[in-house]
Chains A and B, each alone.
Chain A
Amino acid sequence: MIMEVKRSSKTKTAVSAIIPFVLLAVMIGYVFGPGSELISFGVVIPEISIEKVEFVDSEIIATVRNTGPIAVDIVMADIDDSILPAAIEPDKHLERFESAIVRIPFEWNEGQPYAIGLTIDDGTRFEKQVDVAAPSIQPTVEMITYFAIIGTYVGIIPVMIGLLWFPFISKLSRNKYKFFLALTVGLLLFLGISAAEEAIEISAENLSDVFNGVLLVATVSIVSFLALNYVGEKLKKRAGASKLAGPVAIALMIAIGIGLHNFGEGLAIGAAIVLGEAALGAFLIVGFALHNTTEGFAIAAPMARTKLMIGRLAAMGMIAGVPAIFGAWVGGFVYSPLSAVIFLAIGAGAIFQVIVTIIRWIQNEEGKLSNSSVLAGIAVGMIIMYVTSLLV
C-alpha cells in the first residue's frame, strides 16, 4: 500500500517535470510549422566567419564557419580581390555553426599581407585580413621538440627557480610570511584578470558575435571555478584534518591553477609563432620566464610552514610548468580561436578558485584579512606582476 503510493507519487513527479517540456515542444513545433508565417518578419542576414588562415605549399587554406541564422552556400573564393578556382571540403553547403576548409591554390609570398575573401550565394563577400603570411607549421619531430623546449623555458624552468625561494620563506617571521602569502594572492589576482582579458580579446577579434564572447568566458570561468571548488573540497576531506594536508592541498590547487594558466601562455606563444610574430620570440619568452618565476613563489609560499618535501615541491612545479609545453603544441599545431578562448577561461576560473582558497586559509590562520601586511602583500603582488608583464 505504502509502496504503491510512493510509486504513484514518483510517477506524478516525473510527469509534472515532463509536462512543461512537452508544452514547450508543441509551441516550438507550431512556430516552425503552421505558425511560421505569423512570425516571419524582418530580413534574415546570413553571416560567415573566416576563423583561421593557413599558408602551406602553394596553397592558402581558410577555415570558415557559418555564424549566421540561416544555412548558406560558399560559392566563390578570392585572394586580394582576385577571383580564383578553389576547393571546399567537405562541401560548400554550411548549416548553422557548420564549418569547412577552403583550399585556394596560390603562390603566396612570405611576409606579405593578404586579404582572403569568400562570397556566398546571395553575393555577399566576407573578408579576413592577414597581416603577415608565414608558412604554417607542420607537426614534425623537429617542431614538436622546438615547442617543447620553448615550453620548458617559459613554464618549467622559471617555476622551478621560483620554488627555490622555499627556504627563504620558511625562515620568515609570522607577519612577513603572511605578507608573502598575500603577495601570492596579488600575483594570482593579476593572472586571473589577465587570462579573462586575453580570452575576451581573442573572442572579440576572432570569434563571431553569435558566440557571445564575454558570456562564453564568464560561463566557462564560473563552471571551472565551481568544478575546482568541488574537487578541492573533496581533496581536503580525503586528506582529513591533518595539519599537513591543508597547505599541501592548497599548494596543489595553486599548481593546478597556474598549470592551466601556463597552458594558456603556451597557447599564446605557439599561436604567435604560427601567426608569424616569432620575430618577437626571444623577447616574449624572456618576458614570460621572468613573469613565471613569481608563480613558483606562489606554490612555495603555502608550503613554507611545513617540512621541506623536495619531491612534492618538484612535482607541483611540474604540474604548474609542463602544461606550457602542451599549450605551445596546441597553439602551434591545432590553433583555433574558440579552443583558445575556452582554455583561457578555464584557466581564469581555476585561478580565482585558488585565490578564494588562499584567502580562506589566511582567514582560518589569522581570523581577519584587514591586517596591514596582508593588504600590502596583495598590492605588492599585483604591482610586481604588472611591472614584469611590461616585459612581455
Chain B
Amino acid sequence: MIIVISVVSLGFVGYLVFPAMDITAQEQPEVFVTHSGAVVQTTGDVLDPVYTIQEVEFDPQKYLREFDYGKVSQLEDGTILREFTIIAEDDKIMEIAPGIFYNVWTFNGQVPGPTIRATEGDLVRIHFTNNGSKEHTMHFHGNHPAEMDGIFEIVGSGGGQFTYEFIAGPVGVHPYHCHVMPVEEHIGHGLYGVFIVDPKDARPQADEMVMVLNGFDTDFDGENNLYAANTIPFYYQHHPIQINTNELIRVYVVNMVGLDPINNFHLHGTLYEYYPTGTDIIPSQFTDMTTFSQSERGILEFEYEYTGRYMFHAHLTEFSDKGWSGVFYVKDSSQPNMEVYDYGS
C-alpha cells in the first residue's frame, strides 16, 4: 500500500516537475515565417497572428467596399426616403483573431455595423429593434431633433423598438453608436458603425472604401489587447487591399478606438488629400499622417503612381504591433487581368 502511494505520488511530482514530454507529438514539423523573414520549424503548433489561414465570420474584405443605401422610395414632395432595419444583439461570440473568442455586441450581426449611406437632404428612417439582453440605442453624429439623438430614449432589451427619423446632414463621414451607459462598454464591445452623407453634387468617381479603426480589450484590464482597421487584426496585411495605379482612391476613416485617447493613420509611398470629418469639399491638408482622437474621422483621397505593396498602419507602433496594420497591393491599371497576388502564402 505504502509503496503504491509513494510510487503514485512520485510519478505525480515527476509529471509536475518536468515539462510534459509528449511522445504523441506531430511527426510532420510545421514551418512559420517571423516578422523579420526567418523561417522557423516546430514539432508543435504555430501561433501566428498574421500568416495562418483563418476562417473569419466577419469578412473585412467585403465590409471594406459595402455601402447600405437602404430601401429607397420617394415622398410626395420629391424627397428621397431611405429606410433601414437595424437589429442590436449582445450575445454573439466571435473569433476576432486566430483562436481568440470574444463576446461582440452587434448591429445586424457584425462589428462594425453596416455602413449607412445617404445623400444630403434625404429622409433617413431607421427601424431599430433591440434583441439584446441589455438596453441599447442608436446615436448618430450629425443634425437631428433632440428626440432622435438616442440618448434619453432608451430602447429596452428583448425586442424593444424605436424608429429614428431625420434629414441626412451635414455632408461628411460620421459615426453612429449605442449611447447607453457605460458608453465605454457598449462601444468597446462593438456597437458602432459608419454613416456617410454624400453631397448633392456627388464627389468625383473613385474606388471607395471604409476603414473603422477599432480595438478590443479582451481581458477587461482597461487596455486594448488588439487593434485593427475593420475589426480583424492584421487582416489586410494577410489579405492586401487590391487597387489600381492612377485611380483615385477614397477612404472614409472613422476612429472608434476606446480606452486610448488617440489613434493615427499613416500611408506609405504616397500622400493623400485630407478632409477632416468630410464636411468640406476642399482638402485642408496634403499629408501621409493624420491623428484621430476618439470618434474623430475624415476622408482620405490619393492615387498611386507605382505598382507594388504599400503598408498603411498606425504610426503609434504599439497599435500596429497589436494588429492595426495593412497593405495596399497596387496593380497596373493598364493590365487588368494580372494574376492575383496572395501575400504570405
Interface residues of B in 84-101 (CB under 8 A from A): 96-101
B interface footprint on A81-93 (CB within 8 Å = 1, 0 otherwise): 1111111111110
Q: How far is the CB of B232 from chain A (nearest CB, A)?
A: 13
B218 and A124 contacting across the interface, CB-CB below 8 Å:
yes
Query: Which residue of chain A lies nearest to B323 when distances are taken between CB atoms in the complex?
Result: A83
Contacts of B44 in A (CB 8 A): 87-92, 100-101
Interface residues of A in 66-110 (CB under 8 A from B): 73-78, 81-92, 97-103, 105, 107
B interface footprint on A339-359 (CB within 8 Å = 1, 0 otherwise): 100100000000000000000
A83 and B40 contacting across the interface, CB-CB below 8 Å:
no
B40 and A105 contacting across the interface, CB-CB below 8 Å:
yes
B interface footprint on A130-165 (CB within 8 Å = 1, 0 otherwise): 000000000000000000000000000000000000
A85 and B16 contacting across the interface, CB-CB below 8 Å:
no
Q: How far is the CA of A126 from the CA of B109 in the complex (A)?
A: 30
> What is the interface size of chain B, counting residues whose CB is below 8 A from a CB of the partner?
48
Q: Does B33 contact A (CB under 8 A)?
A: yes
Contacts of A86 in B (CB 8 A): 46-48
Q: Does A272 contact B (CB under 8 A)?
A: no
Give the dominant DSSP class at A's interface. Answer: strand
Q: How far is the CB of A73 from chain B (nearest CB, A)?
A: 6
Q: How many A-B pairs with Cβ below 8 Å?
A: 132
Q: Choose among B30, B32, B98, B219 the residue with the greatest number of A CB atoms under 10 Å from its CB.
A: B219
A92 and B45 contacting across the interface, CB-CB below 8 Å:
yes
Query: Which residue of chain B lies nearest to A122 when distances are taken between CB atoms in the complex?
Result: B101
Q: How far is the CA of A239 from the CA of B98 in the complex (A)?
A: 68
Query: Which residue of chain B lies nearest to A123 when distances are taken between CB atoms in the complex?
Result: B218
Contacts of B46 in A (CB 8 A): 85-88
The answer to whether A125 and B34 touch (CB under 8 A), given A85-B50, A92-B44, is no
A90 and B100 contacting across the interface, CB-CB below 8 Å:
no
Contacts of A170 in B (CB 8 A): none
Q: Which one, B24, B30, B98, B216, contacts A75 given CB within 8 A? A: B98
Contacts of A73 in B (CB 8 A): 99
Q: How far is the CA of A82 from the CA of B13 in the complex (A)?
A: 35
Q: Does B338 contact A (CB under 8 A)?
A: no
A125 and B47 contacting across the interface, CB-CB below 8 Å:
no
Q: Does A336 contact B (CB under 8 A)?
A: yes
B interface footprint on A159-198 (CB within 8 Å = 1, 0 otherwise): 0000000000000000000000000000000000000000
Q: How far is the CB of B344 from chain A (nearest CB, A)?
A: 11
Contacts of B225 in A (CB 8 A): 119, 123, 125
Q: How far is the CA of A92 from the CA of B101 in the complex (A)?
A: 15
Contacts of B322 in A (CB 8 A): 78, 81-83
Q: Does B49 contact A (CB under 8 A)?
A: yes
A interface footprint on B128-171 (CB within 8 Å = 1, 0 otherwise): 00000000000000000000000000000000000000000000
Interface of B toward A, CB cutoff 8 Å: 13, 15-20, 22, 24-26, 30, 32-36, 38, 40, 42-51, 96-102, 216, 218-219, 221, 225-226, 233-234, 318, 321-323
Given contacts A86-B48, A125-B221, 14 further A-B contacts (CB under 8 A): A63-B19, A75-B47, A76-B98, A83-B322, A85-B40, A87-B30, A91-B45, A105-B38, A123-B101, A123-B216, A123-B218, A123-B225, A336-B18, A338-B16
A-B contact pairs, 13 of them (CB 8 A): A75-B100, A82-B321, A85-B51, A89-B43, A89-B44, A90-B43, A100-B19, A100-B44, A121-B100, A123-B218, A123-B219, A336-B17, A339-B17
